[in-house]
Structure 1
Amino acid sequence: MKKLHLSIFYLQELKYRLLYAAAGTILLFFITYQYKQALIYIILPQGLSHFITAGLTEIFFTYMQLCSIISISFGLITAILQIYLFLRPGLYSFESKIVLNILICTLLFYTYLYTTIFPLLIKFLWELFLTYSQNFAPIHLTFEPRLNDYLEHVQHLNEVLCLSLPSIITLNLLQRYTKKKLWVKYRGIAYIAAFSLAAFITPPDILSQVFIGFPIILFYELQIIFWALYKQYQEQLLIWQPVKTYKNPLRNKE
């Protein structure tokens, strides 16, 4: 009975922690909805302020989609922190430090990613694809961007960036328990697995699956290249390492 009471107590604590995370997510949704136009203005390329809409409810659902993505993202971070705080009393000190360091590094990585790299990628991709719309000589073509389409492409880019760190960590963990020959031999199976994961995550269209599956394959190939270069680096270190000579301690005494 004592174990049953303890298990119920722990389940209640976990339930309350997850409820705190859910309440924070809902509260953040209403806060972001109050500043929805400012958030859209932040993710727009510099100098762009003209969009068109083709539906009566398009703007409303666009705002809802944007606020939901932001609030759910921060809600997942809060839930992970709450789960860590729930499991911390049962972990060893070194395990708790390792998990805490991973969480801090993940938070710093995504903070740098979305404050520095994400705006640069948006600017670069916008300028790259905008040239195809402006430099069209045969007919007169007027480019009028649609807000919903633009935010959908930004969402695809966000999914790629979100999956970057988990993909790198998963590949590094697999690298410890496997050999490079297996990675090269079963490369085709890895490609199929990457696109299967992309089809499970993204909507049912080929472009979204390519946006998600191709970066995973790129990380896979880069992992093989870095693995081979690191092996060569270790071999060079072993070649140039000085040979240790054996000294007889009895000769020194003589």
Structure 2
Amino acid sequence: MSDTQQSGFIGHLIELRNRLMKAILSILVIFIALVYFANDIYAFVAAPLVAHLPANSTMIATDVTAPFFAPFKLTLFVALFSAVPMILHQVWSFIAPGLYKHEKRMLIPILCSSILLFYAGISFCYFVVLPIILGFFTSVGPEMMTLSPDISSYLAFALKLFFAFGVAFEIPVAIMVLCWSGATDIKSLKEKRPYIVVGAFVIAMFLTPPDVLSQTLLALPMLLLFELGLVLAIFYSKKADTVEHEQ
């Protein structure tokens, strides 16, 4: 490796380090701004469960440190999720200098849509999925049972669902990227639709709690998003072909 290549490689490593530090700093700044409201944030996330608790029933903490660490942990995850645009901006700033102009025009909409879809998945989980799942689970237990969920267990349950739906809503973006890059095409994806239906339920089985309702509520949106991705990929492929003809 020549001195020029070595200095260039070291320069890329320094740039990568700086971008990582800025991404971590953005998470830290948001976390510091939110940590004072940690209990309020937890109360907001727990609202779908509290709304379905029987009368005179409350959430409990089975661990002495849980009343502190559960809201603290949730606030850290909220800071991480909130910093996603800043993190992706740092990723974009690192890779953009190595891209052609037409590649930048193609990838910017994908980057923006991926952020919006991630937040849409989390919102769909909170406002639609959680009330349905929690309403079902809190209504099917034996009458002699007193439901008092543990705050740490509920947090793990909710975060797992938020992450699963946030990632699942990225399916249209993934399809567009795969078709644009030439890794696959729309015709091939349509031919594999029966396998994708089965795969959606298998993936939902691993990403959600072990119950059929949660798996179905994730698998069905994944299939709808897959169909949406096929439609958008047609439009995106046409854009890509146009760009290539313009060169």
Residue 39 (1) aligns with residue 41 (2) = yes
Question: By how many angstroms is 1:206 displaced?
Answer: 7.0
Paired residue secondary structure (1:35) = helix
Structure 2 residue corresponding to 1:194, chosen from 203, 208, 211:
203
User: Could you tell me which residue of structure 2 aligns to residue 170 of structure 1?
Assistant: 174
Residue 19 (1) aligns with residue 28 (2) = no
Identity percentage of aligned residues: 16
Go from structure 1 to structure 2 and tell me whether the alpha carbon gap of 1:30 and 1:179 turns closer, same or farther (over 3 Å shift).
closer
Residues in 1 aligned to 2:24 and 2:47: alpha-carbon distance in whole angstroms: 32
User: Could you tell me which residue of structure 2 aligns to residue 157 of structure 1?
Assistant: 161
Structure 2 residue corresponding to 1:146, chosen from 150, 170, 176:
150
Residue 83 (1) aligns with residue 109 (2) = no
Residues in 1 aligned to 2:217 and 2:133: alpha-carbon distance in whole angstroms: 17
CA contact (8 A) 1:45 1:122 kept: no
Residues in 1 aligned to 2:103 and 2:229: alpha-carbon distance in whole angstroms: 28
User: Could you tell me which residue of structure 1 aligns to residue 244 of structure 2?
Assistant: none
Structure 1 residue corresponding to 2:79, chosen from 71, 78, 81:
71
Residues in 2 aligned to 1:76 and 1:11: alpha-carbon distance in whole angstroms: 22
Go from structure 1 to structure 2 and tell me whether the alpha carbon gap of 1:106 and 1:171 turns closer, same or farther (over 3 Å shift).
closer
Residues in 2 aligned to 1:31 and 1:99: alpha-carbon distance in whole angstroms: 31
CA contact (8 A) 1:52 1:144 kept: yes
Residue 61 (1) aligns with residue 69 (2) = yes
Residues in 2 aligned to 1:117 and 1:187: alpha-carbon distance in whole angstroms: 22
Relative to the length of structure 1, the TM-score reads 0.66
Paired residue secondary structure (2:60) = coil
Structure 2 residue corresponding to 1:132, chosen from 129, 137, 140:
140
Deviations 1:201-238 (A, max 9, x none): x6xx97299957983587359847997xxxxxxxxxxx
- Greater Cα shift, 72-81 or 92-101: 72-81
CA contact (8 A) 2:61 2:67 kept: yes
Structure 2 residue corresponding to 1:101, chosen from 101, 109, 112:
109
Go from structure 1 to structure 2 and tell me whether the alpha carbon gap of 1:15 and 1:121 turns closer, same or farther (over 3 Å shift).
same
Structure 2 residue corresponding to 1:219, chosen from 218, 222, 226:
222
Residues in 1 aligned to 2:212 and 2:22: alpha-carbon distance in whole angstroms: 34
Residues in 2 aligned to 1:131 and 1:192: alpha-carbon distance in whole angstroms: 25
Go from structure 1 to structure 2 and tell me whether the alpha carbon gap of 1:19 and 1:56 turns closer, same or farther (over 3 Å shift).
same
Equivalent position amino acid for 1:3 in 2: Q
Question: By how many angstroms is 1:193 displaced?
Answer: 7.4
CA contact (8 A) 1:180 1:224 kept: no
Question: By how many angstroms is 1:34 displaced?
Answer: 1.9
The alignment of Structure 1 onto Structure 2 pairs a total of residues equal to 217
Residues in 2 aligned to 1:189 and 1:76: alpha-carbon distance in whole angstroms: 30
